[in-house]
Amino acid sequence: MTSSPVSPRIVFVTGGNRGIGLAIARTFAKLGDLVIVSYRSGAAPDGLVGVQMDVTSQESVNAAFAEIEATYGSVDVLVANAGVTRDGLTMRMSEEDFISVVETNLTGTFRTVQKSISPMVKKRSGRVILIGSVVGLMGSAGQANYASTKSGLIGMARSLAREYGSRGVTFNVIAPGFVETDMTSTLSETLREKYVAAIPLGRFCSPEEIAEVVKFVASPEASYITGAVIPVDGGMGMGH
């Protein structure tokens, strides 16, 4: 059953100062939601409310949530988007390269999700959307660290979907393919052409195309979707 959206919802987008997170934040803002973005360094983008937060620090996450709750109220929709890559073939990957990606993408996501769910459970409503990746299911040479974290998000979302489904909170993973952001801007032309050749739609995705799917998953129309991995990958994964 669906109901009309109750606006403004409080939407918190981690890593919402640029790339996919910024597109998601602007999409919710257009709907009239109260959008808060976290930024690690610098400042909030024009027109958006910002809170400084580094997901690798529990203290920083605690402080950010305390500030949000004191100023605006508890989060209704969490989009856990902050993420990093530190690519390299496994034989040459340092333990630090592995652990630092886990700290941000997996443990960092856990920290923000954990801080969000208690008020959602109390309100018996909430949406948690984790930004995974197509490589969490397909694997990716040179990304054993990154792909492990993105697979881990699926286990996290599905466990939480089981823990809190009866309390009206949904947990889903969006799995983008290649998206035009700073993260992919460093790819060489040769690699880019190779990747595009493996994408049935024959191009990279725009951040706005990811944002539209996140918007749907957070909408009343998506009320019966939980524990899902939703690909937005131009056909690259095809069920993987």
Residues identified as active-site: 146
Nearer to ligand NDP, 121 or 144 (CB): 144
Contact set with ligand NDP (CB under 6 A):
14-15, 17-21, 38-41, 53-56, 81-84, 104, 108, 131, 133, 176, 178-179, 181-184
Nearer to ligand NDP, 185 or 190 (CB): 185
Q: Any idea what DSSP says for residue 156?
A: H
Q: How far is the CB of 39 from ligand NDP (least distance, A)?
A: 5
Nearer to ligand NDP, 104 or 151 (CB): 104
Distance CA 86, CA 101 (A): 7
Distance CA 52, CA 46 (A): 15
Nearer to ligand NDP, 135 or 160 (CB): 135
Q: Any idea what DSSP says for residue 239?
A: T
| Measured CA angle at 136 (ends 229, 232), to 5 deg | 50
The SS3 call for residue 183 is helix
Q: Which residues pair with 38 in a beta bridge?
A: 51
Q: How far is the CB of 168 from ligand NDP (least distance, A)?
A: 26
Q: What are phi and psi of 64, to 5 degrees?
A: -65, -45
Q: How far is the CB of 1 from ligand NDP (least distance, A)?
A: 31
Q: How far is the CB of 4 from ligand NDP (least distance, A)?
A: 30
Nearer to ligand NDP, 199 or 222 (CB): 199
Q: How far is the CB of 17 from ligand NDP (least distance, A)?
A: 5
| Burial grade of 188 (CB within 10 A; 0-12, 13-18, 19 or more) | exposed
Q: Which two tokens stand for residue 171?
A: 């947990």
Q: What are phi and psi of 17, to 5 degrees?
A: -85, -10
